[in-house]
Amino acid sequence: MERVSFEPEPIGGLQVLGMLESRLLRFDRVIFIDAVEDNLPGHSPYEPLLPDGMRYILGLPDLETRDVVAAYNFYRLIQGAKDVYFLYQNGSQSGGLGKKNVRSRYLEQLIWEEEKKKKNLLAVHAMPENTLGEKGSIYTINFPLEPPFLQKQAVNRTPLLQEKLEECIEKGLSATQLDTYLTCPKKFFHRYLLGIKPLKDLDVQEDRANFGNLLHAVLEDFFEQYKNKEIQLSSLNSEELYAYFTEKFFQEKSFAELPLDIRYSLLELMKVRFSEFLNDERLLEIAHLEKELQHIFPCGAKKIKLTGKVDRVDLQGENKERVLIDYKTGTIKMPKKAVWDDDILFDKLLAVQTGEEQVNDELLQELQGKIISIQLILYMYLYWQETAEKVHNGVLVSFKEYDVEDKAFFADKVEDEEKETIILALFPKVLEYILSHMLEATSFPAFASADNCQWCDYKNIC
């Protein structure tokens, strides 16, 4: 959220004020915007030169005093109003390691008082039309948010860009590069052809890439001692894993210099996550750690090198079924389950493959909406091709939330024959179309959407 100065009009009908500006004023109707704990009452920054203990000794207002003043200003304001409305956003904040918005403690107290009065929990209702609803009720309001600049210019392919693309392909294409192209070819153009690297976030708490690298390195080192041994994850010591993570954490300068409260919260969070992560009683054998994969994929007259690195390969159960494990500290993205039964979609892909149709942006965008990400299935395909060993499943393990979540690519009910068809027959058709579009399309289009553009590193230059 960006803070901007606002000069109120004293005789106007609407006043936009901060809490301190509202002192000694009274309004018939008060609307609190973004009534979450971070804003109401808000968090005072840590002051190393004048910490709270020193402030108390010197007779200066400390954190407790400021909380009391904030509470007084809040309750005085709402007690003088006829109508009071609180607006807050549910869900995760932008950036942060799974940090969620927390409803203000003041609002929680008001809700609790209302529930005691009604002797029942307050239910959440859909907002009624043409009315502000009943007093003492909670409503959900949905706003369709889309950026105002959905029309973006494609970048025409030139001989120089084609030369850059050929150099990129010659080095080998990774799952990240292919996912980037599937999401938005123009983003691929900025990142891999122009070589514009995303700006580093100045807030190290939100540096998810560094955190992901640290986590991957710690888990690789930790599991190395159990490689090629039959184990149960639940038999491993989560305290040992946490201690090793903490050691590596403080060796990273960017994390070691975090404010004390943030550092403590993050470490406590990881202690819980590691405990959940190792709470798995399945019998398994770790066959590979950080296994590099490579395969030459034929696409028309060209042969394209595809590369990848899978975090862990397990042999699970009595039959030693191969399961590929990939750790995630960000959002998990998976293809929609129904895409592999979409005969119309695969007929379109076949028409391009046989030359009946040309590659087009609309079909690539349709793939993007249904496939979403090819990373996990690409790893399964590459592993199968490189080792000639059957892959039973792939699993994304998310460390983003408090509860570590495993998301398998295939459901338990999917038969082995169907899995083989999807990995070795249907997925190559999808892969070939993405590569064909990359090689043959006349431009690098921008796939503008609220989801794609809002968090894009290149939205300001697109």
Residues 375-419: pLDDT tens digits? 999 999 999 999 999 999 999 998 876 555 689 999 999 999 999
Q: What are the distances in angstroms from CA 3 to CA 6, 39, 156?
A: 9, 12, 39
Kindly report, residue by residue over 212-236, the tens digit of the pLDDT. 889 999 999 999 999 999 999 999 9
214-217: long-range contacts at Cβ-Cβ below 8 A with a sequence spacing of 24 or more? 214/245, 214/248, 214/249, 214/252, 214/255, 215/245, 215/327, 215/329, 215/399, 216/290, 216/311, 216/327, 217/248
Strands of 200-337 (E only): list them. 230-232, 283-299, 302-316, 321-328
The model's pTM: 0.69
CA 240 to chain centre: 28
For the chain, domain boundaries? 20-140, 155-207+226-231+280-454
Considering the chain, what percentage of its residues have pLDDT values greater than 70?
Answer: 89
Strand, helix or coil for residue 56: helix
Answer whether residue 181 shows pLDDT above 70.
yes
148, 153, 154, 159: CA torsion to nearest 10 = -150
Scanning the structure block, which residue is given the tokens 């995760």?
92
The kind and range of the H/E element at 431 are helix 427-440
Answer whether residue 96 shows pLDDT above 80.
no
Considering the chain, what percentage of its residues have pLDDT values greater than 90?
Answer: 52
**Residues 222, 241: Cα–Cα separation, whole Å:** 7
**Residues 389, 339: Cα–Cα separation, whole Å:** 25
Answer whether residue 121 shows pLDDT above 70.
yes
Q: What is the band of 48 on the pLDDT scale with cuts at 50, 70, 90?
A: confident
Q: What are the distances in angstroms from CA 194 to CA 179, 324, 456?
A: 17, 33, 16
Q: For position 394, what pLDDT does the model report? A: 95
